[in-house]
Amino acid sequence: MKLNAAVLGATGMVGQRFVKMLSESNWFEVECISASKRTAGTRYRDNALGFEYSDDILDMTIEDTTKNILKDHDIDIAFSAIPADIAGKVEADLAEKVAVATNSAAHRMDDDVPLLIPEVNPDHLGLIDVQRKKGWEGSLVTNPNCSTIVMVLSLKPLYDAFGIKDIKVATMQAVSGAGFTGVSSMGILDNVIPYIGNEEHKMQTEPKKLLGSLEGGKIIDASFNVTALCTRVPVIDGHTESIFVELESDPTADEFTEALRTFKGLPQELNLPSAPKNPIEIRPVPQPRMHRDLGNGMAVTAGRIEKVAPNKFKYVVMGHNTIRGAVGASILNAELMAEKKYL
């Protein structure tokens, strides 16, 4: 039996991809879609512009996200793609009664909320037990920022095998990361924009929580340093990142590459439906147009690996920002929650 899902913020770019991927899932059934008051009460077909959908989906009526959708629908889990300024209260209210898997940044750094990449820190789901001690029947699980996910998937095997002291990263991020109306064509065509609001802060803080340890119901952050410079480039989908990493030990370039190539996580062991066979693909020169769809968009691609000094390496990693970095990340989180009996 499929789990009944609600999609919050269903008319935006990420929300529409949620509806598309969930409608094709063997684990979830789209029971309810919601958006702003502006579109509430209208049919989805009059507002969905990004993908092809079945008539059953297109004929659904959009609900008002700010109202209690649980009164009229039997929901097992809500997937959230609503803006952070709205998400804070809406998601917390829902989580008192039902599981919420969110792409929003509103609760990512809350002490009792898992910031989750299933291949990286599945044990952080233990924070759900902390949430339930305050009376919640449901739960709230977040996925990281899209650029953070791409980077940290590549850092996890390095962290485990060699230890990490310092990370410097420069990103080249696709325009889809800003949503349908986030960057004007006149702003991005023939241009690079070396600024994305609050993005660098997210990349410098979220990895420490993700690679931290769960001890006594609290996350102890990892101790390495992260310095990020984030840019927007005229690419539709696929964030590319140039990473310079200083390790605690001194592997060879072959050992470094093999750690990435052979990396597997709990989703691969459990054979979760959204999990790629290989979380990290190795290619000589990772490129969005060539490699963003590897693993159905859920794998990241690493290459240009070079040892530049003892303990120091540079490499490039690229991943699909709206699948692995957003919608697919939340769905994989929900699959792990279901497998671990948190739904």
Q: Which residues are catalytic?
A: 146, 239
Q: How many CA atoms lie within 13 A of 269 on its CB side?
A: 10
Q: Measure the CA–CA gap between 55 and 41, rounded to whole angstroms.
A: 17
Q: What are the residues whose beta carbons fall under 8 Å from the beta carbon of 114, sequence distance 6 or more?
A: 121, 124, 125, 126, 127, 128, 141, 142
- Which of these, 114, 118, 117, 142, lies nearest to 128 by C-alpha position? 114
Q: How many CA atoms lie within 13 A of 249 on its CB side?
A: 11
Helix and strand totals (H; E) in the chain: 11, 14
Rg (CA), the chain: 19
Indicate the SS3 state at residue 78: strand
- Which of these, 195, 173, 152, 196, lies nearest to 302 by C-alpha position? 152
